[in-house]
Amino acid sequence: MAFTRDKNFKRFEKKVWLSSPTMHGGELKWMTDAFNKNWMSTVGENINEVERIVAEKIGCKYAVALATGTASLHLAIKLAGVKRGDKVFCSDMTFSATLNPVVYEGATPIFIDTERDTWNMDPVSLEKAFELYPDVKHIVIANLYGTPGKMDDIRKIADRHGAKIVEDAAESFGATYKGKQTGTFGDIGIISFNGNKIITGSAGGMLLTDDIEEANKARKWSTQSRENAPWYQHEELGYNYRMSNVVAGVIRGQLPHLEEHIAQKRAIYERYKKGFSGLPVTMNPYDEKTSVPNFWLSCLLIDEKAMGRQVRGEQDALYIKEHGKSCPTEILETLASFNAEGRPIWKPMHMQPIFRMNPFVTREGDGRGRTNAYIAGGGVDVGMDIFNRGLCLPSDNKMTEEEQEKVIEIVRACFD
Ligand SMILES: *Cc1c(COP(=O)(O)O)cnc(C)c1O
């Protein structure tokens, strides 16, 4: 590649991360406060405060602080009433944590294909899924990479079929749809404070609801389901899912910086968009009329005509270099060789070996099996297509403009 002969083009000395924690100082203050007051436990002021602040920010009545986003999803799915043997409609192109709790509960995820406008659950495929499986009563939907899905359409369909929605806003904390925060569109919502999310506690999650009984149940279940008795009395199955007051201290220090992080992530997205002009690529899309994403990760999608040949097996990938073309494998390998971290798009769940027997519903397929993953005439389903042609770019808040310019040059050079 031409730029490798330019002596300014060395490896980044300091790794450019996909998305790493951005600490400010207040985190240490509140962690120390927990330490000094000896609330080194799953009870304490930090927990109460982060619950209050998040509920206020999101605009829901109750936020229950839990150990992880996954634990929050698990309790959300139980609260929504998912039972052993149920079928549940789930986002297909997402992190597996979105739907693993459905499986913990002995229910079966049915994957719903992705739409191209926001890369989230496709309402048309969802409607189709209700024709095929009219008895389904639960939908689990994620807002991918911080971009809200088509919430009005999904809600209308859910209501028409009497189904409840669990909204996985793990990646989209702070994003809005029609002026309302994500996490409020489901009957129950969740967010995550995992280490690479836009606000982190090193770990942590929250369950969001307007129903006091649900909030109380989540609190009880998350602390081993003790009854109100002098001894350890149990009528229900319990979990050890409550957030630590030390972790809550980190989150308490982070929360005042949410809007600042979103502004930085948006600037990263805009710089990429501008930097790639003229290249045969597009950025991860969103609907400007309805949505303000939190821009957690910037992604790009290579135009079909500029896709180089790439073969992905179950564990590895190969590509052939072609003039004027590139592919996610080449771009990711090239970025890695310069010490910058990208990531493939979440590999759709219907392509995962563990879910090979689960139904998958596309607009055109009949939704009953693997073979329907292929759309007549179109080649592949939408999720598989985005996985094949897309990738996540380094989107770290702390990446400097100069570093990002260099990332852009590296990507441009892949199309030489
Ligand atoms: C991170 C994430 C989760 C899980 O959150 P944890 O806090 O890591 O358990 C769930 N769903 C999505 C879409 C995520 O990105």
Q: Is 69 left (phi over 0), alpha (psi -120 to 50) or beta?
A: alpha
**CB of 149 closer than 6 A to ligand 1?**
no
In contact, 181 and 56? CB cutoff 8 Å: no
> Is the confidence at residue 372, as pLDDT, over 70?
no
In contact, 65 and 215? CB cutoff 8 Å: no
- Residue 50, SS3 per DSSP: helix
Q: pLDDT per residue over 184-198, tens digit each?
A: 999 999 999 999 999
**CB of 171 closer than 6 A to ligand 1?**
yes
| Confidence class for position 375, pLDDT limits 50, 70, 90 | very low
Q: pLDDT per residue over 297-337, tens digit each?
A: 999 999 999 999 999 988 999 999 999 999 999 999 999 99
> Is the confidence at residue 386, as pLDDT, over 80?
yes
Rounded to the nearest angstrom, the distance between the alpha carbon of 363 and the centre of ligand 1 is 27
Q: CA-CA-CA-CA torsion for 290, 116, 109, 77, nearest 10 degrees?
A: -20
Rounded to the nearest angstrom, the distance between the alpha carbon of 200 and the centre of ligand 1 is 12
Counting Cα atoms < 13 Å in the Cβ hemisphere of 375 gives: 15
> Is the confidence at residue 371, as pLDDT, over 80?
no
Residue 124 CB neighbours (<10 A):
16
Nearest CA to ligand 1 atom 2: 170
The pLDDT value recorded for residue 9 is 78
Q: pLDDT per residue over 150-160, tens digit each?
A: 999 999 999 99
**CB of 194 closer than 6 A to ligand 1?**
yes
Q: pLDDT per residue over 116-162, tens digit each?
A: 999 999 999 999 999 999 999 999 999 999 999 999 999 999 999 99
Atom of ligand 1 minimally distant from the CA of 70: 9
Atom of ligand 1 minimally distant from the CA of 205: 7
Atom of ligand 1 minimally distant from the CA of 142: 13
Spatial distance between the Cα atoms of 230 and 228, rounded to a whole number of angstroms: 7
User: Considering the chain, what percentage of its residues have pLDDT values greater than 90?
Assistant: 93
Q: Which of 66, 68, 194, 197 to mutate to test the pocket of ligand 1 (most atoms within 8 A of CB)?
A: 194
Rounded to the nearest angstrom, the distance between the alpha carbon of 71 and the centre of ligand 1 is 9
**CB of 205 closer than 6 A to ligand 1?**
yes
Rounded to the nearest angstrom, the distance between the alpha carbon of 105 and the centre of ligand 1 is 18
The pLDDT value recorded for residue 4 is 54
Model pTM score: 0.95
Residue with tokens 């995820």: 109
Spatial distance between the Cα atoms of 321 and 54, rounded to a whole number of angstroms: 48
Supply φ then ψ for residue 90, to 5 degrees. -130, 150
**CB of 254 closer than 6 A to ligand 1?**
no
Amino acid at 19: S
Domains of the chain from N-terminus onward:
26-257 (3.40.640.10), 258-413 (3.90.1150.10)
Mean pLDDT, the chain, rounded, equals: 95
> Is the confidence at residue 369, as pLDDT, over 60?
no
Helix (H) or strand (E) holding 174: none
Cβ burial of 357 (10 Å; 0-12, 13-18, 19+) is: exposed
The pLDDT value recorded for residue 364 is 81
Spatial distance between the Cα atoms of 28 and 378, rounded to a whole number of angstroms: 53
Record the tokens describing residue 201, joined without a space: 């506690």
Rounded to the nearest angstrom, the distance between the alpha carbon of 334 and the centre of ligand 1 is 27
User: Considering the chain, what percentage of its residues have pLDDT values greater than 70?
Assistant: 94
Mean pLDDT, rounded, for 105-120: 98
The pLDDT value recorded for residue 378 is 46
**CB of 95 closer than 6 A to ligand 1?**
yes
Mean pLDDT, rounded, for 387-407: 97
In contact, 297 and 145? CB cutoff 8 Å: yes
The pLDDT value recorded for residue 380 is 73
The pLDDT value recorded for residue 107 is 98
Q: pLDDT per residue over 197-245, tens digit each?
A: 999 999 999 999 999 999 999 999 999 999 999 999 999 999 999 999 9
Nearest CA to ligand 1 atom 11: 98
Q: pLDDT per residue over 81-103, tens digit each?
A: 999 999 999 999 999 999 999 99
Counting Cα atoms < 13 Å in the Cβ hemisphere of 36 gives: 8
**CB of 142 closer than 6 A to ligand 1?**
yes
Q: pLDDT per residue over 237-274, tens digit each?
A: 999 999 999 999 999 999 999 999 999 999 999 999 99
Residue 23 CB partners (closer than 8 Å, separation 6+): 253, 254
In contact, 130 and 119? CB cutoff 8 Å: no
The pLDDT value recorded for residue 123 is 98
Nearest CA to ligand 1 atom 5: 69
